[in-house]
Chain A
Amino acid sequence: MGTAFDTIAFKASACDGCGKCMTACAEAKQGASRISIVSGAGEGRFELSLCRQCGDPKCAMVCPAGALAKDEASGVIRWDANQCVDCLLCTAGCSFGGISVDSHTARVAKCDQCDGDPACVKACPTGALEWVTAGSVFKKYGDREDMFVPGLSGCQGCNSELIMRHAMRKIGRNAVLATPPGCIPGMGSVGYNGKTGTKVPVFHPLLTNTASMLAGIRRYYDRIGRKDIVVMALAGDGGTSDCGFHAVSGAAERGEKVLYVCVDNEGYMNTGMQRSSTTPFGSWTSTTPVGEHMRGKTQDAKNLPLIMVAHKCAYVATASTGYMEDLYAKLDKAVEASFRGFSYLHIYSPCPTGWRIPSSKVIEACRMSVDSNFVTLWEYTREGGLRFTRSPDRPIPIRDYVKLLGKYRHLDEAQLDHIQARVDEQVALLRMMAAEPVAAE
């Protein structure tokens, strides 16, 4: 497993230059601020100068005194004040002004991320600074046992495989896993008779009865006092939103203590990319082809997670592999909630094969789907209501996202307008539910 670290991320578009981060840093460090916000190109634009905690730190390489080194645990480039001879060569190594002279001490100073609790981030009122913990997520779970064998036969770049492996690494062995017919068992997780691709108890439910079978399993284990088993599904969108919906809805209504993860790749990809009720408007599928009389799907996608909110589940959330720390935080909550009631996690999952995108663009597609509001990331609890966990203040146009995907290649202006309008409506509705102001455009 490789290494990754938490990091302070800067969103220039959200920075108003208030300087509170610098004040907080200077106070925390009793000296010059290690973070510096500078005027950007144009009125009201700001830029950042801060140690990037490089993987290949040039400041450390050029240090003649061995005073700088990357901390293996935190990834922070540590400066050893006793070892340093104040030669300033490190300032020549850094391309970002991440280590510079503190005029108070006449020595160099640099960001040490306040040991994982950066003062600047806490002081930032606009969210321009964010403490991104994807690195520790990666490290924490990267070394855990993979619950699937290597060599599952997913397509190259398969996002669902990523989700499966991540989810089960996190959840571990004390689980019963349903993988209803679709890509997830299709790539060999349940396996061929005599061989299985999974280390936890795994089974094919019917496409139609996943939630019900899980409910039966959970009820019995609860009955005999084995209440700590995670009883869960990694299901596709078709089995969840179409023919298996009765079971999902019934189990949710009854409050069955089950973790239901829907991996939404917007269609029946395993059987050759047919349309499902979560296939978005305009999308090419093999049953909504593009020809003289038909230009892709003519109906909008069903918003399944919202429907689950209406069931007043113990937990409902949406997630994307574009934002793993968000996904992991939700997986945590979803697992916990599954011991209290029905817990539903909807993960949007681009399919390189069915969506006609290069495998190298899958994560980019995930990110852009969120950054354009095509995919909204939120969570719902009965106590806290609906809450956005990440929402772009300045969403990129839907066109920018859609043009990444081959399945939308045929769209005309009217169709693009339709998609944009629906996305805007959807976000407005969600904002209303989240009691957030609808963005004035």
Chain B
Amino acid sequence: MSKVVVIDGNEAAAWGAALSRPDMVAVYPITPQSSLVEYLAKFIADGRMDADLMDVEGEHSVLSVLHGACLAGARTYSATSAQGLAYMFEPYFRTPGLRLPMVVSLVNRDSVSPTCVWGGQQDAMTVKEVGWIHMFCENQQEICDTIPIAYKVAEHPEVMLPVNVNHDGNYLSYGVAKVELPDQAVVDSFLGEKNVNWHACLDPERPMAVDPLTGGATGAGPATFVRYRKGLCSGMRAALDVIVEAHADWGRRTGRHWSPLIEKYRMEDAEVALVTIGSMSGAAKDAVDEARLDGRRLGLVKIKTFRPFPVVQVAQALSKVRAIGVVDRAVNFGWNCGPVFQEVLAALYHLPLRVPAMSFIGGLAGADITVEHFSQAIDRTLRLAAGELAVEPVWLNEND
């Protein structure tokens, strides 16, 4: 039977992981992830979770031991943040290429420098091109539910890609809320039997060379390499449908229906839309409601699945509005705007008519993005709809 608890986001993630029955959990502590791995260690110590706990000497090895275990056939889990992800980058980059269906929570944190230990999505946004699937959670319940869903997606034979389940540091990691823990039997039947290394394994009973040299200036080498790269893209494309199916399946089994790719909030007749990602979406929806009370036709599109980017869904959702404001918790240096904004622009290019859009950046380094901040954003987006161009982003916390 499911049970209701009041827990923070990190514990919700730990429960999501524990219910997914990974064989191996590798950990290295980092703020704001630390309590998550402490929960896992405690679960294992208390016998509530049957997994090998590997306290290794750094995030580089966290992912490396999981690579080994996964190639041997294990279901694996870990979590990290910011600098940990940076240190993990070498094996991180390799994971999707090896098509290892792992799940790693990113407890999003802004990355140094300046030195900072608080929330922000700079970590995830910096690795968005690597080939991991990225899903962003809005609240503690969604964190707990999304982790089993992530395994279902990752291990789907058409996908076979690693998944980062993101939840915001501080606001979600430490924030407490009511969470209904799914019943173990429900999760078990949802996930089914694991098969993580049918494609590449290190097993004396199936000897093979894993990751041989592939490439070269001429001949079959580089062509083979192209096949691998295109295969990864196919996995990403297939994931869009698989993610939708998995969320639907989860909804049928638990009664909780999360929007799989994007959530459209009051978009039916919206003239102006906000686009959000992660935990900020709650406050943003309040601001939308307030604007509606004022008679303005506001709507909101929340991005749950950022990789693969749901291009069609985003473009269609936004095709009928007159202006769009995209709120980011990270910076795209070079474009000097929000990274989600940049992605949304790219999706909009597929529409026959140009829809003006602008970038808002807020919530960096742990800052709250309040309903007031979103109201400012709504005002500015309305002016955009009226023809006031905005090339530069608006930094929402700049004058706090």
Contact = CB atoms under 8 A, between A and B. Distances in A.
B71 A203 contact: yes
Interface in A202-224: 202-206, 208-209, 212-221, 223-224
B224 interface: yes
B209 A220 contact: no
A220 B204 contact: no
Nearest to B228: A193
B209 A190 contact: yes
A253 B57 contact: yes
B54 A193 contact: no
A196 B202 CA distance: 14
Contact of B74 (A192, A199, A220): A220
A160 interface: no
B99 to A, nearest CB: 14
Contacts of B211: 190, 203-204
A229 interface: yes
A200 B213 contact: no
Interface in B156-209: 201-204, 206-209
B267 to A, nearest CB: 45
A247 to B, nearest CB: 5
B54 A201 contact: no
A250 interface: yes
B71 A190 contact: no
Contact of A191 (B67, B91, B206, B213): B213
A396 interface: no
Contacts of A216: 24, 26, 54, 64-70, 72, 74
Contact of B91 (A209, A249, A250): A209
Contacts of B201: 201
A185 to B, nearest CB: 8
Given A201-B210, A203-B209, A250-B57, A217 B64 contact: no
A126 B300 CA distance: 89
A209 B92 CA distance: 12
Interface stretch (A53-61, A173-181, A291-299, A354-362): A173-181
Given A190-B212, A203-B202, A208 B60 contact: yes
B73 interface: yes
A201 B56 contact: no
Nearest to A186: B213
A91 interface: no
B228 to A, nearest CB: 9
A213 B68 contact: yes
Given A217-B202, A224-B73, A209 B60 contact: yes
A349 interface: no
B21 to A, nearest CB: 12
Contacts of A218: 68
Interface string B205-237: 011111111100000110010000000000000
B259 interface: no
In this complex, the member of A190, A197, A199 whose beta carbon has the largest number of chain B beta carbons within 10 angstroms is A190
A246 to B, nearest CB: 6
A409 interface: no
Contacts of B24: 216, 219-220, 223
Contacts of A196: 208-209, 212
Given A216-B24, A219-B54, A193 B69 contact: no
Given A201-B204, A205-B64, A220 B221 contact: no
Given A173-B204, A201-B204, A201-B208, A212 B213 contact: no
Contacts of A173: 204, 207
Nearest to A216: B68
B52 A194 contact: no
B236 to A, nearest CB: 22
A338 B52 CA distance: 19
Nearest to A191: B212
B98 to A, nearest CB: 9
Nearest to A215: B65
Per CB-CB distance, the 4 closest pairs between chain A and chain B, nearest first, are: A216-B68, A250-B57, A212-B64, A196-B209
Given A202-B207, A208-B60, A216-B70, 6 more contacts: A190-B213, A193-B221, A196-B212, A200-B207, A206-B91, A249-B57
29 contacts: A173-B207, A185-B213, A190-B212, A191-B213, A192-B221, A193-B213, A193-B221, A194-B212, A197-B209, A201-B202, A201-B204, A201-B209, A201-B210, A203-B210, A209-B90, A209-B91, A212-B56, A213-B64, A217-B68, A217-B202, A218-B68, A219-B54, A220-B69, A220-B73, A223-B23, A224-B73, A247-B61, A250-B57, A254-B54
Interface of A: 173-176, 185, 190-206, 208-209, 212-221, 223-224, 229, 246-247, 249-250, 253-254
